[in-house]
Amino acid sequence: MEWKGQARLIRVEDPSDSRIVEFTAMRDKDLAGRGDLFIAEGRVVLQALVDAEAGDDVGARRFVIEKVLILENRIDGLGDVLDRIDPACPIYVAGREVLDAAVGFAMHRGILAVGRHVPVASFSDFLSRLPEQALLVAACGISNHDNIGGIFRNAGVFGADGVVLDASCCDPLYRKAIRVSVGAALRVPFCRAGSIADLVTTLTDHGFEVAGLSPRGTEALSSYVPGRRLALLAGTEGEGLPAAIIDRIKTLKIEQAPGMDSLNVATASGIALWHTAVRMGRAGG
């Protein structure tokens, strides 16, 4: 069935067209980190971006869609998503050869968008928007985009209210991170929070118990009962959380078979989120 909004489509015949320059040679560069712009690809991710652009429960608009580029044979199946995109946003359409030449490779799913992240004013402002009972994941020193994407996916699945990133974490809006998160990086609110020490201090000041995940944790996760406001703190693989931070907070360990290395940080965050979400009445049923 032909999409009724065909009239707003802008045909592109030249892969070097300046109107689609942000999509050019995506294999060689990524927009993440450049003025809060990023690339979204695939139907699931575009749907998540459209949902996020509409604003959250308190009306905060976290993303803006700047432009869209669609493979011509994908248009008719996207009508329900495209209808929700701001009429002022240009929607470009191209044939396979043009799109592949512009993007630089053929594995782009035929659905691309340029989004712009609208960050909150401050970390304190981010925390002030959360409900009285709140569950966060705080990520520190995570440099692997697969792990960041996995953490966001877990946060979305288990109903976390947000993800907090220290200054050293990689960008969750990098294309691979968004893809691994299955769009959760666009659905789950997030905020940068400076150093890990400042992050912990600010969370504590806003009434959060900070519980660090560590193989050296002093309490078993299985016996842990969270309070009304909890931030699960996950550190980088290898070094884990700094000793100075571990000394300041509650630490939780995930029981495992002897002789094995510690869990991947994304896997550990998923297990911890499941346990705490169930105890807080956010999962199950």
pLDDT for 28 equals 52
The per-residue pLDDT string of the chain (285 residues; one tens digit each, 9 = 90 and over) reads 567 778 899 999 998 899 988 887 665 556 554 568 888 888 999 999 999 887 655 456 789 999 999 999 889 889 899 999 999 999 999 998 888 887 776 656 789 999 999 888 899 999 999 999 999 999 999 999 999 999 999 999 999 999 999 999 999 999 889 999 999 999 999 999 989 999 999 999 999 999 999 888 889 999 999 999 999 999 886 677 888 888 899 999 998 887 676 788 999 999 999 999 999 988 765
Fold match between domain 6-117 and domain 123-279: no
Triad 112, 113, 119: Cα angle to 5°: 145
pLDDT for 55 equals 65
> Which CATH code of 3.30.1330.30, 3.90.105.10, 3.30.70.2610, 3.30.450.40 fits the domain covering 6-117?
3.30.1330.30
pLDDT for 202 equals 96
**How far from chain centre, in Å, is Cα 250?**
26
pLDDT for 34 equals 59
pLDDT for 58 equals 47
pLDDT for 56 equals 56
Domain ranges of the chain: 6-117, 123-279
Strands (E), the chain: 9-11, 37-41, 63-71, 91-94, 111-117, 134-140, 162-165, 190-192, 209-213, 219-220, 229-235, 250-253
CATH topology classification for 123-279: Alpha/beta knot (3.40.1280)
Instruction: Give the tens place of pLDDT for each residue, 194-224.
Output: 899 999 999 999 999 999 998 888 899 999 9
Instruction: Measure the CA–CA gap between 138 and 210, rounded to whole angstroms.
Output: 9
Strand order in the sheet with 229-235: 190-192, 162-165, 134-140, 229-235, 209-213, 250-253, 219-220
H, E, C per residue of 177-199: HHHHCCCHHHHCCEEECCCHHHH
Instruction: Measure the CA–CA gap between 212 and 123, rounded to whole angstroms.
Output: 19
